[in-house]
């Protein structure tokens, strides 16, 4: 004979369990305001809080870290935007400064052409040949514009820039004042002290062979000292072209001669617009020979 199922053997067990649960709930309800039950409830609540608060703290920490990463990404994106905007503004400012400089140069050339007694042609620097022992530029004017070897080249303020040494139909090569092979007899404009200016590439010009008895002061202007004995016998450079200003004087008490360092009037490393004098012919046509 097979044993019967437990539910069949104890049909009253489920009813008994339900009754016990209901009785306990009723008892707890009736005693809910009693101190023991309140104490038990408080202890249980404390246990729940003890367990739940660290978990909540961990959750808050995770949320804070997540927010931090979000903030970092936001700041990085904003930084990238600002850097891009800064670069754009810097580029625009550089272009504006370049245009303003070009306008100033062109205006200076117009002013110079309006005041000089020489016939000139305006030229743009299209190439530079700079090395330790060389300072040349190529201009966009040539024999088709009337340019010849030996022509003097000037810049803003009637400042000496150099001299033409080679000419093609559409361009010419100019040896700059700063080239080590360039030299020109010059004088202190205020005192007439004469010396020889020589190029020294990137360094200041040398103003040598000056009479030690003549006064040479820092800040004094140096100009070309060209002389003209006749239309066919005159210096290779016109008189009175600005060469530069004295930045240092080198003299020895017992020496017969003194020298000085001269900063060129023109920034020949960056100048872009120049004038070529077409109708001045010095008595010494070879550009390597000085007056």
CA distance 81 to 76: 9
Our count of domains for the chain comes to 2
CA distance 225 to 161: 15
pLDDT band at 28 (very low <50, low <70, confident <90, very high): low
Q: Is the pLDDT of residue 198 over 90?
A: yes
Confidence at residue 132, expressed as pLDDT on a 0 to 100 scale:
85
Residue 163 lies in a domain: yes
Confidence at residue 231, expressed as pLDDT on a 0 to 100 scale:
64
pLDDT in tens, 106-145: 787 778 888 888 999 999 999 999 988 899 999 999 999 9
SS3 labels along 170-222 = CCEEEEECCCCCCEEEEEECCCCCEEEEECCCCCCEEEEEEECCCCCCCCCEE
pTM here is: 0.65
pLDDT in tens, 44-56: 555 445 555 555 5
**What CATH number is associated with residue 249?**
2.40.10.340
CA-based Rg of the chain, rounded to a whole angstrom?
Answer: 47
pLDDT in tens, 231-267: 667 788 999 999 999 999 998 888 899 999 999 999 9
Q: Is the pLDDT of residue 38 over 80?
A: no
Q: Are residues 140 and 235 in the same domain?
A: yes
* Percent above pLDDT 90 for the chain: 47
Residue 22 lies in a domain: no
Residue 73 lies in domain? 64-112
Confidence at residue 159, expressed as pLDDT on a 0 to 100 scale:
95
Confidence at residue 291, expressed as pLDDT on a 0 to 100 scale:
42
Q: Tell me the mean pLDDT in the region 212-233.
A: 86
Residue 164 lies in a domain: yes
* Percent above pLDDT 70 for the chain: 71
Residue 1 lies in a domain: no
Q: Are residues 130 and 87 in the same domain?
A: no
Q: Are residues 154 and 244 in the same domain?
A: yes
The per-residue pLDDT of the chain, averaged, comes to: 80
For residue 69, what are the contacts with CB-CB under 8 A and spacing of at least 6? none
Q: Is the pLDDT of residue 274 over 70?
A: yes
Q: Are residues 247 and 124 in the same domain?
A: yes
Confidence at residue 89, expressed as pLDDT on a 0 to 100 scale:
84
């Amino acid at each position: 004979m097979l044993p019967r199922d437990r539910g069949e053997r104890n049909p009253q067990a489920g009813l008994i369990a339900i009754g016990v649960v209901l009785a306990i709930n009723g008892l707890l309800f009736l005693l809910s305001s009693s101190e023991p039950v309140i104490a038990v409830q408080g202890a249980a609540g404390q246990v729940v809080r003890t367990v739940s608060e660290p978990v909540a703290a961990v959750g808050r920490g995770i949320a804070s870290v997540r927010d931090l990463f979000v903030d970092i990404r936001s700041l990085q994106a904003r930084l990238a935007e600002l850097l891009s905007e800064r670069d754009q503004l810097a580029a625009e400012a550089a272009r504006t400064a370049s245009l303003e400089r070009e306008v100033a140069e062109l205006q200076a050339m117009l002013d110079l052409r309006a005041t000089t007694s020489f016939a000139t042609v305006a030229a743009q620097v299209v190439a530079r040949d700079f090395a330790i022992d060389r300072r040349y530029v190529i201009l966009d004017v040539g024999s088709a514009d009337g340019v010849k070897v030996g022509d003097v080249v000037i810049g803003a303020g009637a400042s000496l820039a150099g001299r033409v040494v080679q000419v093609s139909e559409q361009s010419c090569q100019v040896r700059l004042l700063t080239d080590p092979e360039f030299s020109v007899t010059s004088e202190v404009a205020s005192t007439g002290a004469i010396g020889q200016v020589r190029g020294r590439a990137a360094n200041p010009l040398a103003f040598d062979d000056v009479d030690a008895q003549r006064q040479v002061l820092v800040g004094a202007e140096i100009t070309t000292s060209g002389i003209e004995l006749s239309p066919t016998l005159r210096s290779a450079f016109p008189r009175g072209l600005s060469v530069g200003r004295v930045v240092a004087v080198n003299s020895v008490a017992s020496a017969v001669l003194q020298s000085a360092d001269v900063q060129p009037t023109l920034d020949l490393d960056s100048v872009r617009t120049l004038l070529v004098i077409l109708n001045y012919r010095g008595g010494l046509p070879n550009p390597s020979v000085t007056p």
